[in-house]
Amino acid sequence: MLSAQGEVLVRYTPQGKTLDGAAYPVRPILPGVYLNRRVNRGFENLSLSADGKTAWVTLQSPMGDTKTAALAASRVLRTLKLDVTDPLNARVTGEYLTLGSPISEYPASKKQADLKVSDTTWISGEKLLLLERASGLVRLYVEDFSAATNILNRSDEPTLTLEAAPDLNALGVKTSTRTLMFQSTDAGITDDKLEGVAVVTPSVVALTNDNDFGIGDNTTGAPSRLWLVQLGTTLR
């Protein structure tokens, strides 16, 4: 949580992560399992409800060491729901699972770990618009969590049992339902580093790319761009 001047007012971490010596309050309110996030694959998105009381965050990738076969092949993404009525004293109120696309649907990528969630934006109720991407392709999905299982405080939650599970239904866990709304090839967009999405109208979304300041992952030299996309149906 930052002030308008960029001052850190509070930092929320997973249970067990205290950051001793920090010059600001540190509150370990997130489930401890998030200590298992992959390097540089944490929360790359934040969605806020229209009333400003509920925040949603989705991990960029599944958790766990990709040297373990079951975890390397995992498609399980975790989403947290937080009550931010008092932003300085947020509370986690829900934790849900989404199944990312099989990497075989992204023909330019070879490993499941290449799939990333780079942004989400709140639509209504328990629905988010999620931006999923891998080499050569970007997709937008509506993720509906209204019938998903709230796994917060499950007895197996501190482990990666769910990430490695071959069948979540057998564990009594329902994931979010997802509906494909758009993919970049539909509009002839070749830039696959689209990492920002915003809802402009119920049927128009804005997409932006990340040019990495001309360094890092982006070696194409592509400039910063914004696309306005007319969807084939409405989001609300």
pLDDT tens readout for residues 79-97: 999 999 999 999 999 999 9
As to burial, measured by CB atoms within 10 angstroms (0-12 exposed, 13-18 middle, 19+ buried), residue 87 is middle
Give the pLDDT confidence of 112-166 residue by residue, as tens digits.
999 999 999 999 999 999 999 999 999 999 999 999 999 998 887 778 999 999 9
Q: Is 170 helix (H, G, I), strand (E, B) or coil?
A: helix
Nearest Cα to 136, choosing from 180, 91, 184, 96?
Answer: 184
Contact between 42 and 59 under an 8 Å Cβ cutoff? The reply is: yes
pLDDT tier, 215 (very low <50, low <70, confident <90, very high otherwise)? low
> Is the separation of the CB atoms in 54 and 46 below 8 Å?
no
Pairing outcome for strands 11-14 and 26-30:
parallel
| DSSP-assigned letter for residue 2 | B
The pLDDT tens digits for 163-187 are: 999 999 999 999 999 999 999 999 9
Whether the Cβ atoms of residue 15 and residue 28 lie closer than 8 Å to each other: yes
Residue 13, pLDDT > 80, answer yes
What is the CB neighbour count within 10 angstroms for residue 217?
9
User: How far are the Cα atoms of 46, 53, 57, 143, 227 from residue 82, in angstroms, in the given order?
Assistant: 11, 8, 8, 17, 30
pLDDT at 155: 82
Contacts of residue 24, Cβ cutoff 8 Å, sequence gap at least 6: 7, 8, 9, 10, 11
The mean predicted confidence, pLDDT, of the chain is 94
pLDDT for the residue numbered 220: 63
Residue 211, pLDDT score = 75
pLDDT score of 219 more than 70: no
Domain ranges of the chain: 1-30, 32-230
Q: Is the pLDDT of residue 214 over 70?
A: no
> pLDDT tens digits for 1-10?
899 999 999 9
What local confidence, expressed as pLDDT, does residue 223 receive?
Answer: 80
Q: Is the pLDDT of residue 216 over 90?
A: no
pLDDT exceeds cutoff 90 at 221: no
- Report the pLDDT value the prediction gives residue 159, as an integer from 0 to 100: 87
pLDDT tens, position by position, 32-67: 999 999 999 999 999 999 999 999 999 999 999 999
* Residue 101, pLDDT score: 98
d(CA 3, CA 140): 31
Pair 167, 175: CB distance under 8 Å: no
